[in-house]
Amino acid sequence: MNQANTTVVAFRNFFQEVGQLTSFLVKFFKQVFVPPYEFDEFAKQSFIVGYKSLPLVGITGFIMGLVLTIQLRPTLVDFGAESWLPAMVALSIIREIGPVITALICAGKVGSGIGAEIASMKVTEQIDAMEVSGINPFKYIVVTRIVATTLMIPLLVIFSDFIALMGSFLAVNIKSDVSITLFITQVFDSLDFMDVIPSLIKALFFGFFIGLIGCYKGYTSSNGTEGVGASANSAVVVASLLVFIIDMIAAQITSLFT
């Protein structure tokens, strides 16, 4: 009986959460296109999300490119297809690893940051204070952050792909001798617009949901300072999970067109 009650409560909470998130999403779309636009805050958030995440994303991308190449090499050598290495690595990085790894890193770094920041604003009643002083807090805090993550994460993915390919080039050159021109030719020969464009669209969705979940968790935070930690934590968990779910859906949709 007790178990059944717990299940019912869990389901009720889940649907309540989904409902709240949907109304949060609707509120965002209602306000995003309506002036006044907070350009300064948007630029600041873009700087934090994009520029400040670049070193982390860059290092991760570089290592992923390097490691993937080193790991793939023995199998390809077994098949006598070593010359396919740049093409295979490029396809894996551009289609999958670049966007997903970047999104996961940003879910951890940016998602938790946004969640904790907004939650602490909420707890310390800064949001209420904004409302009193005539600033629309939702527009100032939430809209700017979601738009910033939506636009900056695809840009970070481009950087990550580029740096990962550089890492791969280095790894290819550890064992064999491939010129940069040949490497670029082999990489771009294997790529198509149907590899690049879906991956960037996917990254837009990753960015949007990382921002949305971070803001939502922060904005609906409660229980004082304890709630700040909980918001940051659940923002990362939910955003990371959503990254994988979106990735799965994106893979299904992309496979329909190819």
Partner 1 sequence: MKKETGNKMRLGIFISVGLIILIAGIYLIGSKQQLFSNTFRISGIFKDINGLQIGNNVRLSGINVGVIGNIEIIADTAVRVDMVIEEKVRKFIKKDSQANIGSDGLMGSKMLTIIPGTSGKKVIQDGDFIETTAPVSIDNILLNLEIASINAIDITDDLSAIMLNIRSGKGAIGKIFMDSTFAKTVDDAMVNVKEGAGGFKQNMDAASHNFLLRGFLKKKEREKKKAMGNRQ
d(CA 42, CA 30): 17
Q: How far apart are CA 202 and CA 232, in angstroms?
A: 24
Q: Which is nearer to partner 1, 51 or 244 (CB)?
A: 51
Q: What is the smallest separation between the CB atom of 70 and partner 1, expressed in angstroms?
A: 23
- Cβ closest to partner 1, residue 152 vs residue 213: 152
Complex with partner 1: residue 25 or 191, whichever CB lies closer = 191
- Closest to partner 1 by CB, 5 or 258: 258
Find the shortest distance in angstroms from Cβ 230 to partner 1.
31
CB 105 within 8 A of CB 56: yes
Nearer to partner 1, 32 or 200 (CB): 200
Nearer residue to partner 1 within complex by CB, 188 or 244: 188
Structure token pair of residue 18:
């989904």
End-to-end CA distance of the chain: 51
| CA-closest candidate to residue 97, choices 210, 228, 203 | 203
CB of 154 to partner 1, least distance (A): 9
DSSP string covering 180-243? HHHHHHHHHHH--HHHHHHHHHHHHHHHHHHHHHHHHHHHT--SHHHHHHHHHHHHHHHHHHHH
Smallest gap from residue 92 Cβ to partner 1 (A)? 16
Write b or e for each residue in 186-210: b if 16 or more Cβ atoms lie within 10 A of its Cβ, otherwise e.
Answer: bbeebeeeebeebbbebbbbbbbbb
Query: Nearer Cβ to partner 1, position 18 or 43?
Result: 43
Nearest-angstrom CA–CA distance, 149 and 156: 10
Taking the complex as a whole, the smallest distance from the CB of residue 203 to partner 1 amounts, in Å, to 11
For residue 94, the minimal CB distance to partner 1 (Å) is: 9
Peptide bond into 36 cis (omega under 30): yes
Site residues, partner 1 (CB under 8 A):
43-44, 46-47, 50-51, 54, 155-156, 158-159, 162, 184, 188-189, 191-193, 196, 200
**Least distance (Å) from partner 1 to the CB of residue 40?**
8
